[in-house]
Amino acid sequence: MPNLLRTVQLALKSLMLHKLRSGLTMLGIVFGVFSVIAMLAIGEGASQQAQQQVLQLGATNIIVRSVKPPRETASQQNADSFVLRYGLKRADYDLLSKTIPTVIQAVPIRELVKACRFLHREMNCRIVGCTPEYVDMNHLSLAQGRFISDKDRREKTNVCVLASGTADELFQYEDPLGQSVKVADRRYTVVGVTRSREASAAIGGSLSGQDFNQDIYVPLETMRVRMGDLDIDRRQGSFSAEEVQLNQITLRISDIDRVMSTADVIRESLSHTHKASKDYSVVVPQELLKQAEQIRTIFNVVLGSIAAISLVVGGIGIMNIMLATVTERTREIGIRRALGAKQRDITLQFLTETIVLAGSGGLIGVLLGLSTPSVFQMLKTLAEQFFFESGGASDFSEMFKDLVPQVVPSSLPLAFGISVGIGIVFGLYPARSAARLDPIEALRHE
C-alpha cells in the first residue's frame, strides 16, 4: 500500500509539472464522460415522456378506431352512392361489449368537427358524442359544473360540456355555465367545463395524438338525434358526404394479463362483420409501451455510441501525450533503471499517470453529467427565447417543452469505468515502451 500511494504521488507530481498540457488532454475524457451521461439522460427522459403519454391511454384499455378506407376501395364499395359509408357500427359496440366476457366497460364515441358559436365569437371544435364513462376513461377532471349524466342520455337533452381551451376561446369574459352554445344550428346549454389536459401523443403512428382542450362533449344519443350519422361537407366547387356511426370504441379489460388475448378476440370478431374492407384498427397501449421501450433502447444505443466515440478520441489524445512524455523523460527512465527499478516498476509508474489523468477527467465528467437537467433546461430556455424573438415557428419548443432529462444512476459508474478503462488501454502501450528502453541508451539520451 505505501508503494502504491508513493506511485500515485509521483504520478500527480509529474502531471502537475505540465498543468496546461495535462488539462487539455483531460478535456477529451471530461467531455466524453459528460456526453455519455447526458445522452443517456435525454434518452431516458424521452422514454419516460412517451411511456407516460401511452399510460394515459390506459394499460388495460383496447382502443378500436374507425379508419377511412383508401379512395380506390371506397369508390368500389360505394359505386351506387355518393355517400361514403365506413367504420364502426352500433352493432359492433353491442357485439364487443356484450359477448366478450373479459370486457368490463365499453365507451362508444362519435366525433365531428363543426363550427361553434357564442355571440360573435366562433371557432371550429371537435364535437364528441359520448357517455358519462368517457370522463374517467380519458382521465379528465372538471373545473366547473358537471359532466354528462345518464339522465342526459335517456332524455336526449341539449346539454354540453366544454373543454378548457374551448371555454377560454368562446367565453373570454363570461361564466360559461348556463350559457348556450350554438353547434350545427342547434343550441346546447353548458353544464360543465373540464380542466386542461395534455395531448396523448402517438407511438409509431398507431394512434393520432388527441388534443382534449378544443372539444365539446354532448350525450351520444343527443348527437345521433340532432346531427345524425351523415356528415356533409360543402365547399366551393366540391361536395362530399360520409356516414359513420361510431368513430371509436374504448374497451376496458378486467385483467392486464388478458389484454393481448382479448385484442385477438376483438380482431377476429370484427373480421367477420367487416369482410369487405379494413375500415377499423385495434390499438393496444401495451403494444405501444413495447414500441416505446424499443425506441428507448435504440435511442440509447445510438446516442451512447456517438458519445463513446469522444471517449475514444480522448484516449487517443492520452496515448499521444504519454508517448511524448516518454520521449521527454528518457534520461529519467535510464537513471531509475540504473538505480535498480524493474520493467514492471516503470510500466506501473507511467500506467498510473494515465489512470490518474483519465480518472480525474472521468470524475469531472460525472459531476458535469449530474448537471444535465439544469443545463438542458437552460439551453431550452435560450432556444425558446431565440425562436420568440426571431418570430419563427418554435418547433423546437413544441418538441422538447415537456422533456425533462433523467440521469440514469447506472450511467455514472459506467461512464467513469469506461474512462478509466480507456486510460488503461491507451496508456499501456506508452508505459510498455518506456519500460523496454535500454538503460544504457536511455542514459545517453540528451
pLDDT tens, per residue, the chain with 446 residues: 556 677 677 767 777 777 787 788 788 888 888 888 888 888 788 777 766 666 666 778 889 999 888 765 544 455 456 788 888 999 999 999 999 999 999 999 999 988 899 988 899 999 999 999 998 888 889 999 999 999 999 999 999 999 999 999 999 888 999 999 998 888 999 999 999 877 654 443 334 556 788 899 999 999 999 888 888 776 666 677 888 999 999 999 888 778 889 999 999 999 888 876 778 888 887 666 676 677 777 777 777 777 677 777 777 887 877 777 777 777 777 777 777 777 777 777 778 888 888 888 889 989 988 888 888 888 777 776 766 555 554 455 555 666 778 888 888 888 888 888 888 888 887 877 777 777 666 666 55
Separation of alpha carbons 222 and 41, rounded Å: 49
- Asked if 298 and 366 sit in the same domain, the reply is yes
Cell of 189: 346549454
- Tell me if 206 is assigned to some domain: yes
Which of 251, 278, 305 terminates a domain? The answer is 278
- Asked if 333 and 264 sit in the same domain, the reply is no
- Asked if 28 and 95 sit in the same domain, the reply is no
345 closest CA partner among 419, 431, 265:
431
- Asked if 199 and 256 sit in the same domain, the reply is yes
- Tell me if 36 is assigned to some domain: yes
- Tell me if 59 is assigned to some domain: no
- Asked if 207 and 186 sit in the same domain, the reply is yes
- Asked if 94 and 240 sit in the same domain, the reply is yes
Contact between residue 354 and residue 423 where contact means Cβ atoms under 8 Å apart: yes
- Tell me if 286 is assigned to some domain: no
Provide the pLDDT for residue 146. Answer: 94
Separation of alpha carbons 271 and 277, rounded Å: 9
- Residue 95 structural domain: 68-278
Separation of alpha carbons 46 and 244, rounded Å: 36
SS3 category, 189: strand
DSSP 274: -
Which of 252, 278, 304 terminates a domain? The answer is 278
Chain length of the chain: 446
- Tell me if 320 is assigned to some domain: yes
- Asked if 233 and 202 sit in the same domain, the reply is yes
Which of 243, 278, 313 terminates a domain? The answer is 278
- Asked if 208 and 136 sit in the same domain, the reply is yes
Separation of alpha carbons 318 and 351, rounded Å: 11
Query: Looking at beta carbons, which pairs linking 124-128 to residues 24 or more positions away fall under 8 Å?
Result: 125/166, 125/183, 125/214, 125/215, 125/216, 126/214, 126/215, 126/216, 127/183, 127/184, 127/215, 127/216, 127/218, 127/223, 127/227, 128/215, 128/216, 128/217, 128/218
Provide the pLDDT for residue 206. Answer: 39
- Asked if 436 and 327 sit in the same domain, the reply is yes
Indicate the number of domains in the chain: 2
- Asked if 96 and 229 sit in the same domain, the reply is yes
Separation of alpha carbons 368 and 411, rounded Å: 13
Provide the pLDDT for residue 407. Answer: 85
Provide the pLDDT for residue 421. Answer: 85
- Tell me if 60 is assigned to some domain: no
SS3 category, 120: coil
- Tell me if 63 is assigned to some domain: no
- Tell me if 428 is assigned to some domain: yes
- Asked if 362 and 393 sit in the same domain, the reply is yes
- Asked if 210 and 145 sit in the same domain, the reply is yes
- Per the confidence metrics, is the pTM higher than 0.85? no
